């Protein structure tokens, strides 16, 4: 009897497929472990506008008591009782359930898009585009479950900043936006 080359090839191919599947499974497992470790070190804080059309998920390893909470003194932020925070080592996801509800507002220096809900008027976050991707600051007044140990907001004015200074500060201090 002569050996059947196609069977040998099939067995070899099956062996390779198993090996590739095992490697792919290991890679997926490693990615899942990394994602789990990230979630174990970072807590998730969710915010939404009053009508629920837009929101955010803020990821930070910092305990809320250590957050820098800023109360900008411009008329826009004061009217909305905004208290914002950011974590350059964290991340944020912007959630848009109703794209028609999202309004992007830009002020004189046109350095950031302030994300508002067209339906309820709530201000959720501000986002900038940098050479390293998008960065954001989130409005804690829109948190669904504000942590008990949030520090008091620090009154601050950015009126004296130049456009370049403002962009540099935001690129350094604001939170990376997840795609």
Structural domain of 110: 43-176
Is this model's pTM higher than 0.85 or not?
A: no
Parallel, antiparallel or unpaired: strands 123-130 and 102-105: unpaired
CATH number at residue 79: 2.170.150.70
Q: What is the largest CA-CA distance in the chain?
A: 91
| pLDDT per residue as tens digits for the range 54-88 | 999 999 999 999 999 999 888 777 888 899 999 99
Residue % of the chain over a pLDDT of 70: 78
Domain check: are 63 and 34 in the same one?
no
The total of structural domains in the chain comes to: 2
Which long-range contacts link 63-69 to residues 24+ away (Cβ below 8 Å)? 63/149, 64/147, 64/149, 64/150, 65/149, 65/150, 65/151, 67/150, 67/151, 68/151, 68/154, 69/140, 69/150, 69/151, 69/152, 69/153, 69/154
Residue 50 and residue 35 share a domain: no
């Amino acid at each position: 009897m002569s050996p059947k080359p196609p069977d040998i090839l099939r067995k070899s191919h099956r062996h390779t497929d198993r090996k590739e599947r095992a490697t792919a499974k290991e890679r997926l497992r490693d990615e899942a472990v990394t994602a789990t470790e990230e979630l174990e070190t970072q807590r998730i804080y969710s915010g939404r506008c009053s009508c629920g059309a837009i929101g955010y998920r803020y990821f930070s390893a910092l305990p809320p008591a250590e957050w820098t909470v800023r109360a900008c003194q411009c008329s826009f932020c004061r009217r909305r009782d905004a208290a914002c925070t950011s974590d350059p080592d964290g991340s944020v996801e912007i959630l848009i359930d109703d794209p028609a509800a999202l309004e992007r507002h830009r002020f004189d220096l046109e350095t950031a898009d302030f994300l508002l809900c067209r339906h309820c008027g709530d201000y959720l976050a501000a986002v900038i585009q940098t050479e390293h991707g998008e960065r954001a600051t989130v409005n804690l007044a829109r948190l669904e479950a504000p942590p008990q140990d949030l520090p008091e907001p620090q009154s601050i004015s950015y009126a004296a900043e130049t456009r370049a200074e403002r962009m540099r500060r935001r690129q350094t201090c604001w939170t990376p936006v997840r795609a």
